[in-house]
Amino acid sequence: QVQLVESGGGLVQAGGSLSLSCVCSGSIFSLLNMGWYRQAPGKQRELVATITRGFTTNYADFVKGRFIISRDNAKNTVALQMNSLEPEDTAVYSCNAVTPVLPKREYWGQGTQVTVSS
């Protein structure tokens, strides 16, 4: 019912910026709570930022002041603007969608690679 496709990953130098996008198929995007997660090699997946269907945002402490999550319901997209990137930000970034009401369902994109060089 829901398909998520990420884009915008790539190679950037430390201190630089990168913008990720996630496009959601279907007609229920505005009803979904969305998020960005990342997973570095050898590490577990961790939450980066979330944005609810009511546009409430939440950020992991390590990205506060550097990353901005936003959504455009007219375009069925969620974006993650990443500034002041550090090598520690290198990871596969994945888009996540969760239905806030019953039936509870969760969806994941395949991820996009972000590599930050020093």
Q: What percent of the chain has pLDDT over 90?
A: 92
Q: And the tokens for 42?
A: 């050898």
Structure confidence at residue 102 (pLDDT): 81
pLDDT tens profile 26-77? 889 999 999 999 999 999 999 999 999 999 999 999 998 999 999 999 999 9
Q: In the chain, pLDDT over 70 holds for what percent of residues?
A: 100
CB 79 within 8 A of CB 18: no
- CA–CA separation, 51 vs 57, rounded Å? 4
Q: What does the pLDDT read at residue 30?
A: 95
Q: Which candidate, 36, 35, 70, 67, places its Cα nearest to that of 55?
A: 70
DSSP 66: T
CB 112 within 8 A of CB 52: no
Integer Cα distance of 75 and 5 in angstroms: 13
CA distances from 62 to 47, 49, 79, 104, 115 (A): 10, 10, 18, 29, 17
| Residue predicted with more confidence, 81 or 100 | 81
Tell me the per-residue pLDDT of 68-77, one tens digit each, with 9 for 90 and over.
999 999 999 9
- 107-118 average pLDDT score: 97
